[in-house]
A and B are shown apart, each in its own frame.
Chain A
């Protein structure tokens, strides 16, 4: 069964550094998402992306965050200057159609640790 693939599985970075989290969505999917989960807490929506632009972003997704689909297969989340509170598990997801019509398929996540 096709999967959403995320790399790396674990990223450690120092405060203030830039990080790029990478995702390869399922190939025929058109809608892409990033969610995050701070340790022990619920999963929170960050951003959705369709047709090469952001559809919606949450209040968490401030100017430090950006997303890109650079080459038609990868979908990346960049954090420009990481803060300690950015430490979390970041999940990429994709869906074939709008989420109300088809379920989101999540990747295995990237655990980001900011020291």
Chain B
């Protein structure tokens, strides 16, 4: 069975703090893809990143960075120097590599509140 767990329900930080959002996944497939989406208060889902299971290289994009570790089945997301505009719900998601159907398995989401 496939499952995505985001154990942190809510995180509150003060602006300029760094914050890491945890994501742990379960799958029996050797080929799979992991995603992060952001859902701001306006409600839309914004794609942030997609990684495949064979690429464990960490990625940095501006203030965002992702740490993928197959050994611990984790794909954590770090925001450096957080800003109020980062306040949103963040979802981690998984799809197995043989999927032809686009069925993403989402985690429960982590609500991040960044206070000024």
Contact = CB atoms under 8 A, between A and B. Distances in A.
- Please determine whether chains A and B interact with each other in the same assembly: yes
Interface of A: 31, 33, 35, 41-45, 48, 50, 55-56, 58, 89, 91, 93, 95, 98-100, 103-109, 111
Interface of B: 33, 35, 37, 42-47, 50, 52, 91, 93, 95, 97, 99-109
- Classify the secondary structure of A's interface with B: strand
Of all A-B residue pairs in the complex, the 5 with the closest CB atoms, nearest first, are A56-B101, A99-B102, A106-B45, A108-B44, A55-B101
B91 A42 contact: yes
Nearest to A97: B102
B44 A48 contact: no
Contacts of A42: 91, 106-109
A103 B95 CA distance: 11
A97 to B, nearest CB: 10
A105 B47 contact: yes
Contact of B95 (A44, A55, A100, A107): A100
8 contacts: A35-B104, A43-B104, A43-B106, A106-B37, A106-B45, A106-B47, A108-B43, A109-B43
Nearest to A9: B43
B44 A109 contact: yes
Contacts of A104: 47, 102, 104
A100 B44 contact: no
Contact of A98 (B50, B100, B105, B106): B100
Contacts of A33: 102
Contacts of B106: 42-44
B33 A45 contact: no
Contacts of B47: 103-106
